[in-house]
A = this chain, B = another copy of it.
Amino acid sequence: MDNINIFAPASVANVSCGFDVLGFCLDTIGDIMRVSKTKTKGISIGTLKGQKIPIDPLKNVAYVAANALLKDFPTNGGFQIDIEKKIKPGSGIGSSAASAAGAVFAINELLGKPYSRSQLVKFAMVGESLASGDAHADNLAPVLLGGFTLVRSNKTLDIIKLPSPNDLIATIIHPKIELKTIHSRAILKSEIPLTKAVEQWGNLGAFVSALYTNDYGLLSRSMKDKVIEPARAILIPKFKEIKESAIEAGALGSGISGSGPSVYALSKGEKTAKKVGQFMKTHYDEIGLDYEVHYSTINNEGIKIL
């Protein structure tokens, strides 16, 4: 095999109760990447379509991630990466994670799979840390492993794939403003109240339990974030109204997707998810802010070979 085409999906990190540890993979939005073997050693970036992303290799997350893999697994030839970027950088649905994970996934396939999907996370992290300033695997893990994932430790990359109830549908609204992870991270306080932290880990534990037991009521009650969301909400136009209308439309829960500005909701069934999207968008229609709405089942596979 000399080249491969893949779908590198978008993802939702944090999921309200799991800041920096929880995430899930989307199915209807993602980048198309083509990686081809080259005779020249090393990584080269070919065509970049769709979105404005850095051509400078050292600022390109796909390049940096791919390079990290090749440092660990030296080969004689090289690889060219062509990217059709469909996920907007700074939208909060894992744009850099898709590029980083996609690059290492595709190269691993072309090398005959020396690494497992889990093992690829550490290489993708090198690219991801370019974009976020600080390396977290909460987007990379669901992109590589699929479904819902929990990163027990971002240091040792101890990653657990959690079960995904079949009829969960995500609604994502992306207001067309750009919010860099590095900026939405900067507004967080370095200390948080112990009482809020206890509520947060109670909710995360309950969320994990609900995924194993298909308990939608518990899932809904545990999708809370009193630590990060209150600080970041002010960066997202109409966040409060959008979240409230998602719940009013029947969503199990709603919150900031990753570091925003996208807002996600999870619903049981497609009908509710669509209604949630209809309710959400009225707020941006009112103020004339451009936006996109995505609907997606949970992508239990992660990156797909096309």
Contact = CB atoms under 8 A, between A and B. Distances in A.
Copies of this polypeptide in the complex: 2
Given A197-B197, A201-B201, A202-B152, A160 B192 contact: no
Contact of A205 (B21, B192, B221): B21
Contact of A193 (B191, B205, B208): B191
Contacts of A124: none
A204 interface: yes
Interface residues of A, number: 40
B209 A150 contact: yes
Given A209-B162, A212-B212, A218-B160, A192 B202 contact: no
A9 interface: no
A22 interface: yes
A47 interface: no
Q: Which of A150, A197, A222, A227 has the most CB of B within 10 A?
A: A197
A254 interface: no
Interface in A1-53: 17-22
Contacts of A195: 190
A290 B201 CA distance: 36
A188 B19 CA distance: 23
Nearest to A163: B212
A257 to B, nearest CB: 18
B197 A160 contact: no
A206 B152 CA distance: 6
Interface in A139-158: 150-154, 158
Contacts of A209: 150, 160, 162, 208, 212
A206 B158 contact: yes
A200 interface: yes
Interface of A: 17-22, 150-154, 158, 160, 162, 188-195, 197-209, 212, 218, 221-222, 227
13 contacts: A19-B198, A152-B221, A153-B203, A160-B206, A162-B209, A190-B193, A191-B194, A192-B194, A197-B227, A200-B201, A205-B205, A208-B208, A212-B212
Given A191-B193, A212-B212, 8 more contacts: A18-B205, A21-B201, A22-B205, A151-B202, A190-B194, A192-B197, A194-B227, A197-B197
